[in-house]
């Protein structure tokens, strides 16, 4: 039967990919993703995973190799972080618009310059509009579970899209955590073999990613948008099925003491677990504080987010990326956009923090909440504040 | 493709806009890019076939009499054939004439 094992989360991802029985892994090592692909290279070299491991010369090549592999109908996995994700950038659009399912874990990292190998969400936000399904996880178990779900979601005939699973670089990728792995037979039942409907095959030649004149390009983009939006139902269905089989449940927007809270904090990724500690403490002191965590970043869960925050007076959003010269944090900006048309909506206060591996402790989350309430009551002439920055 | 592209809606598109009909690039008229067309003078042509070899579009064909002519559905009017034809049998003529 399934048992809990202590394992580094990066290695656990490798084990999950092995359980998913991936056919091809094409990847280039980059901190803090390296242990993921190192472990997969070992699994393939040891014969524990019967897959092609393609050691490419760059991330641009990694993603390009993944396109070809997915296009012939092979179950495909890669992983990257930070600058690597940036180097893949143009190919990411090709994967989604050619409707090629593949799974990529991103060990979220800051962007240069100055060089930082540590965690934040700058890399994620730069690929926000690439048309991938994007899921955030908060701990090792969620990572393993969602890597398995990502294959099932992406390969579903109604979806056929690439999926990114975002985990915080170092904060999560390098943690040793107790993780329950499902049995191979359970995974095999959960994850049917991948069969691409129109694969590259010499018996029935097709052309993928062909030229589009102005007369047809808009139609291709509309089809892509409708498809990504519709994928949300399949994401929900998959998480529902996963919950029934394995007893762990996932939602596009996760709640923590949020239902009756006057003040809500909104976070994404691993910092959410720290924020929960703060909510526990403040609740213990009789404060009406709760937390909502955005798990499904794309397609954006508009209905769920509106429902989750509608009764709050103040909503404090923490971004771990900065949109330079713009409205501050990209997440806060999207939350504001989602709520703009609502008759009943909280005041939305934006903070940017946790950049380039800067910690936010439970005590500092309390400061964020208190400062957010202060801004909400007294107002501010700024669009957002960078938390913890030395003035 | 059953309908012309300009009549297709987004719902008509194949998965990922994949082209399932092999070789359908031959239906694409590249001839309307042309501003000049090659005129072949059979009096000067020695049937050497250099124009056929050099044409980057592969649109020059040999007719039943052994002379060469350009398929104007594809010919982009680049003029390479006229440049390479050493007997001077090919002249580029502006399209409007």
Q: A116-141 pLDDT, tens per residue?
A: 999 999 999 999 999 999 999 999 99
CB nearest to B8's CB, from A97, A216, A226: A216
Contact B18 A100 (CB under 8 A): no
d(CA A78, CA A28): 9
Question: What 3-state DSSP class applies to B69?
Answer: strand
φ, ψ for residue A166, nearest 5 deg: -95, 125
Q: Please judge whether A220 and B10 are an interchain contact, meaning their C-beta atoms are less than 8 angstroms apart.
A: yes
Q: Do A226 and B10 touch (CB under 8 A)?
A: yes
| pLDDT number for residue B2 | 67
Q: Inform me whether the pLDDT recorded for B76 exceeds 60.
A: yes
Contact list in A for residue B18 (CB cut-off 8 A) is 98-99, 198, 206-208
Nearest to A313 by CA among A286, A337, A345, A281: A345
Q: Between chains, do B20 and A206 touch, taking CB under 8 Å as contact?
A: yes
Backbone angles phi, psi at A319, to 5 degrees: -105, 140
Across A327-335, average pLDDT: 95
Nearest to A306 by CA among A336, A276, A331, A332: A336
pLDDT at A14 over 70: yes
Residue A276 contacts residue A250 (beta carbons within 8 Å): no
Task: Give the single-character DSSP code of A286.
Answer: T
pLDDT of residue A205: 93
CB contact under 8 A, A208 and B22: no
Q: Over the stretch A360-384, which tens digit does the pLDDT of each residue have?
A: 999 999 999 999 999 999 999 999 9
Distance from CA of A207 to the nearest CA of B (A): 5
Closest residue in B to A212 (Cα) is B17
Check B18 against A208: CB less than 8 A apart. yes
Q: What was the pLDDT predicted at B97?
A: 57
Lowest mean pLDDT among A221-225, A312-316, B31-35: B31-35
Query: A198 vs B14: CB contact, 8 Å cut-off?
Result: yes
Buried b (16+ CB within 10 A) or exposed e, A312-333: bebbbbbbbbbbeeeebbbbbb
> Are A100 and B16 in contact (CB < 8 Å)?
yes
What is the β-pairing status of strands A253-256 and A176-180?
Answer: unpaired
Q: What is the mean pLDDT of chain B?
A: 93
Asked if the Cβ–Cβ distance from B5 to A160 is below 8 Å, we say no
Handedness of CA B4, B5, B9, B12 (dihedral sign): positive
Averaged pLDDT, A180-209: 95
């208190």: which residue's tokens? A370
Spatial distance between the Cα atoms of A288 and A283, rounded to a whole number of angstroms? 6
Q: Which residues of A touch B29 (CB under 8 A)?
A: none
Rg (Cα) of chain B, in Å, rounded?
18
pLDDT digits (tens, 9 = 90+) for A332-364: 999 999 999 999 999 999 999 999 999 999 999
Which chain A residues are Cβ-neighbours of B13 within 8 angstroms? Answer: 219-220, 223
Cβ(A144)–Cβ(A83) under 8 Å? Answer: no
pTM greater than 0.90: yes
Mean pLDDT rounded to a whole number for chain A: 97
Interface residues of chain A, partner chain B, Cβ below 8 Å: 97-100, 160, 197-198, 204-210, 212-213, 215-216, 219-220, 222-223, 226
Q: Is A248 exposed, middle or buried (0-12, 13-18, 19+ CB in 10 A)?
A: middle
- B17 contact residues in A (CB cutoff 8 A): 97-98, 209-210, 212, 220, 223
Dihedral of CA atoms A329, A34, A195, A97 in degrees, nearest 10, equals 40
- Residue A6 bridge partners (DSSP): A178
Candidates A135, A129, A301, A331; CA nearest to A229 is A301
Q: Could you give the CA distance from residue A325 to residue B95 in angstroms, rounded to a whole number? A: 52
């Amino acid at each position: 039967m399934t048992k809990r094992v202590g394992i580094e989360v990066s290695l656990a991802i490798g084990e999950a990919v092995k359980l998913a029985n991936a056919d091809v892994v094409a990847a280039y090592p980059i901190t803090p993703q390296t242990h993921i692909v190192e472990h997969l290279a070992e699994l393939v070299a040891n014969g524990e995973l019967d897959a092609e491991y393609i050691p490419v010369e760059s991330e641009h090549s990694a993603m390009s190799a993944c396109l070809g592999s997915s296009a012939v109908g092979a179950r495909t996995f890669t992983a990257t972080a930070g600058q690597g994700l940036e180097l893949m950038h143009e190919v990411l659009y090709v994967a989604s618009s050619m409707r090629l399912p593949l799974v990529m874990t991103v060990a979220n990292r800051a962007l240069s310059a100055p060089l930082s190998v540590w965690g934040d969400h700058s890399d994620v936000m730069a690929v926000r509009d690439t048309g991938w399904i994007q899921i955030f996880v908060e701990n090792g178990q969620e990572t393993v579970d969602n890597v398995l779900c990502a294959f099932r979601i992406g390969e579903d005939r109604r979806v056929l899209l690439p999926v990114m699973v975002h985990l915080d670089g170092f904060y999560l990728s390098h943690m040793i955590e107790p993780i329950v792995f499902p049995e191979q037979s359970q995974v095999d039942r959960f994850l049917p073999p991948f069969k691409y409907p129109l694969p590259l095959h010499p018996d029935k030649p097709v052309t993928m990613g062909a030229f589009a004149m102005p007369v047809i390009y808009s139609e291709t983009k509309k089809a892509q948008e409708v498809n990504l939006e519709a994928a949300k139902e399949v994401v929900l269905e998959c998480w529902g099925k996963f919950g029934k089989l394995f007893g762990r449940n996932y939602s596009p927007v996760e709640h923590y003491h949020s239902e009756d809270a006057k003040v809500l904090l909104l976070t994404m990724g691993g910092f959410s677990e720290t924020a929960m500690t703060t909510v526990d403490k403040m609740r213990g002191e009789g404060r009406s504080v709760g937390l909502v965590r955005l798990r499904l970043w794309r397609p954006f869960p508009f209905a769920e987010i509106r429902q989750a925050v509608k009764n709050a007076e103040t909503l404090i959003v923490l971004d771990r990326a900065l949109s330079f010269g713009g409205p501050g944090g990209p997440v806060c900006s999207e939350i504001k956009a989602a709520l703009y048309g609502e008759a009943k909506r909280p005041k939305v206060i934006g903070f940017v923090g946790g950049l380039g591996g800067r910690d936010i402790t439970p005590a500092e989350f309390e400061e964020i909440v208190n400062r957010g309430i202060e801004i909400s009551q007294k107002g501010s002439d700024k669009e957002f504040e960078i938390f913890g920055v030395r003035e | 493709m059953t309908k012309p592209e300009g009549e297709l809606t987004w719902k008509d598109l194949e998965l990922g806009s994949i082209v399932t009909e092999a070789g359908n690039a031959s239906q694409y008229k590249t001839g309307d890019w042309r501003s000049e067309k090659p005129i072949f003078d059979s009096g000067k042509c020695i049937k050497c076939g250099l124009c056929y070899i050099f044409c980057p579009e592969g649109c020059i064909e040999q007719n039943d009499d052994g002379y060469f002519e350009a398929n104007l559905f594809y010919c982009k009017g680049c003029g390479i054939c006229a440049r390479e034809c050493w007997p001077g049998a090919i002249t580029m003529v502006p399209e409007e004439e």
